[in-house]
Amino acid sequence: MEAAVVQTAYGKVRGRIERGVAAYLGIPYAAPPFGENRFQPPRPPQSWDGVRDVAEFGPTVPKPPYPPAMAALLPDPDRPGEDCLNLNVWTPDPAASGFPVMVWIHGGAFRNGSGSVDIYNGASFARDGVVYVSINYRLGVEGFAHLPGAPDNRGLLDQIAALEWVRDNIAAFGGDPDNVTIFGESAGGMSVTTLLSLGLAEERGLFRRVIAQSGAGLVHQTREDALKVTGELAARLGVEPTAEGFAALDPETIIPVQAAVAAEVAALPDPGRWGVTTANCGMSNVPVLDGDLLKRVPQDAIADGAGAGAELLIGYTAEEFRLFLMPTGLAKVLTHDLIGAVTTGMGVPAAAVTGYRDRHPDLSAGELLAVLITDHMFRVPANRAAAAHRGRTWMYEFAWRSPVHDLGACHALELGFAFDNLDSRDASGMAGPNPPQHLADAMHGAWVAFAKTGDPGWPEFDAETRAVQVFDGADDRVEHDPRGDDRKLWDA
């Protein structure tokens, strides 16, 4: 069934009715990032005459497939075509007005993902009175490599361009451009926290609220460290380490080499080879401190007051890193001797490693590393961002444990619950059969309430009481400083 025709700044679009709401899919918010637009800031899309059919998802940006062990747990559709800087809108009623808006920025380690992943379907948000938008942005080398001769942080610039499109067009879909919540998970959580640090809420009015899921404000690269990655890629590809050199190759040629380097950085985060900032996050292409868009480490800027005008909901899953160790089999082959090499490379304080060994003597090497990197990459940075943010702040922990693949409460498990999409074909691989719908009702309801009112329904976080809403499906509750003795090891 067709949805009503909507007039955007670039032309008219016609969507479809899906699950009782209107969906408009694959709308371009920027020009295709190829040819003369490659490695450049996003440019406006070309206008069109007549009515554009937007009933199907548009192309995805160039990206590699997930490794086999991850592909079954994290589906990542690949749709060919150059018009890949597009977005999707689900709305309760395009003829209405004043609905709160939520804009989703997907995760995928800054090299995978798209707005068209099935579990990100926005119909449940629209059903509950929210205009929901999901976006694509450039990834990997195309979006985040430091290439002399090209602007840095092209993927972040894409995200900002999409938010500008929302500001200028979302009222035509029934949304309130003055009541926008940006939210994201993993690299998306890191992205929204970075956007918060840029003053985009106060200075440009692009959003009012932020939900950061499993991503905070520490991930970044210096230009020097990013150039180490660029140099390695260029050497393997046989080109100069410049924008001109990489532009001589199509993305399909670059992607396999990009994937190989990314895997090496993740497996052995060696600061001597890749630089300290690259090794600390274990990712090869991430936002760069370019001195232009991103002048400071996001968490430092937030601590100095950036983003104070926006409300922040931030959190993590209780056992994030199990996703990367358990289904891959790495946990079973890890030894305690290897833990030191990995944690030292990632910048984990030696005192924290010693403290965790003492506090958790019964854990296997794989389980201990999962706990350490969960806290290093996710839980401790979330706590620090929450404590640093000068505006209203709430924190959550997702603690329900999956019954499959020994995943526990792992990274990305909360997605089906926050989206109330447990019936998605993408949810069962990670959540298993019959996940608790009442937990989805609670978590999704909190996200909707936050977007509508700025209050998810539990006490605000502060550095003294550290109130954290724990979603575990059995006894959802507020805890004060959960596992605080572990957290304090990092402060020391």
The string of pLDDT tens digits covering residues 295-320 is: 999 999 999 999 999 999 999 999 99
Q: Is 88 part of any domain?
A: yes
Set 320, 367, 397, 414: catalytic member: 320
Give the angle 12-16-18 at the CA atoms, nearest 5°.
145
User: Strand, helix or coil at 290?
Assistant: coil
Q: Do residue 249 and residue 178 come from a single domain?
A: no
311 is catalytic: no
Grade residue 466 by pLDDT with cuts at 50, 70 and 90: very high
Whether residue 161 is contained in a domain is answered as: yes
Q: In the predicted model, is pLDDT for residue 342 greater than 90?
A: no
Which of 141-165 are b and which e, b meaning 16 or more Cβ less than 10 Å from the residue's Cβ?
A: bbbbbbbeebebbbbbbbbbbbbbb
Using an 8 Å Cβ cutoff, are 38 and 77 in contact? Answer: no
Q: What is the dihedral of CA 415, 24, 71, 104, to 10 degrees?
A: -40
Residue 50: CB partners within 8 Å, gap ≥ 6? 11, 12
In a domain, 408, yes or no: yes
> What local confidence, expressed as pLDDT, does residue 333 receive?
87
Catalytic, 164? Answer no
Instruction: Identify whether residues 134 and 271 lie together within a single domain.
Output: no
Domains in the chain: how many in total?
3
What is the tens place of the pLDDT at every residue in 110-129?
A: 999 999 999 999 999 999 99
Same domain, 323 and 269: no
Q: Are residues 268 and 319 in the same domain?
A: no
The confidence band for 95, taking pLDDT boundaries of 50, 70 and 90, is very high
211 occurs within a structural domain: no
pLDDT band of 491, cuts 50, 70, 90: confident
* The token pair that represents 24 in the structure block: 């408009």
pLDDT range class, residue 206, cuts 50, 70, 90 = very high
Domain limit, last residue, from 230, 262, 281: 281
Q: What is the mean pLDDT of residues 223-246?
A: 98
DSSP-assigned beta bridge partners for residue 23: 16, 90
Q: What is the pLDDT of residues 242-281, one digit of tens each?
A: 999 999 999 999 999 999 999 999 988 999 999 999 999 9
Catalytic residue among 114, 411, 414, 444: 411
Q: What is the mean pLDDT of residues 330-340?
A: 86
Three-class secondary structure of residue 278 per DSSP? helix
Are 186 and 213 spatial neighbours (Cβ–Cβ below 8 Å)? yes
Q: Which of 77, 120, 113, 73 is nearest to 429 (CA)?
A: 73
Q: What is the pLDDT of residue 166?
A: 98
One domain for residues 38 and 123 = yes
How far apart, in whole angstroms, are the C-alpha atoms of residue 37 and residue 289?
22
- Domain around 59: 2-185
- Residues 228, 132 share a domain: no
64 and 130 together in one domain = yes
One domain for residues 348 and 397: yes
- Examine the pLDDT at 21 and tell me if it is beyond 90: yes
**Phi and psi, residue 272, nearest 5°:** -70, -30
Say if residue 62's pLDDT is above 80: yes
The answer to whether the Cα torsion of 305, 306, 312, 314 is positive or negative is negative
Q: What is the mean pLDDT of the chain?
A: 96
Asked if 181 and 209 touch (Cβ cutoff 8 Å), the reply is yes
Closest to 55 measured CA to CA, from 126, 104, 106, 6: 6
* More confident position, 328 or 188: 188
> Which of 124-128, 165-169, 331-335 has the weakest average pLDDT?
331-335
C-alpha to C-alpha distances, 38 to 10, 33, 79, 251, nearest whole angstrom: 21, 5, 19, 10
Q: What is the CATH number of the domain that holds 375?
A: 3.40.50.1820
Tokens coding 291:
């001195």
Answer yes or no: do 482 and 377 share one domain: yes
What pLDDT, on the 0 to 100 scale, is given for residue 428?
87
Residue 217 forms part of a structural domain: no
Crossing angle of the two packed helices 484-491 and 350-359, in degrees rounded to 10: 160
The percent of residues above 90 in pLDDT, for the chain, comes to 90
Does residue 343 sit in the same domain as residue 472?
yes
Same domain? For 170 and 32 the reply is yes
At residue 1, does pLDDT exceed 90?
A: no
Domain boundary among 129, 157, 185: 185
Last residue of a domain, one of 263, 281, 299: 281
316 and 410 share one domain: yes
Alpha-carbon radius of gyration of the chain:
21
Buried b (16+ CB within 10 A) or exposed e, 298-324: bbebbbeebbbbbbbbbbbbbbbbbbb
**Chain centroid, CA 274 distance in Å:** 23
How far, in Å, CA of 345 to CA of 268, rounded?
Answer: 8
Q: Is 203 labeled as catalytic in the residue annotation? A: no
Residue 204 lies in a domain: no
pLDDT reported for residue 352: 92
Instruction: Check 134, 186, 214, 284 and give the catalytic one.
Output: 186
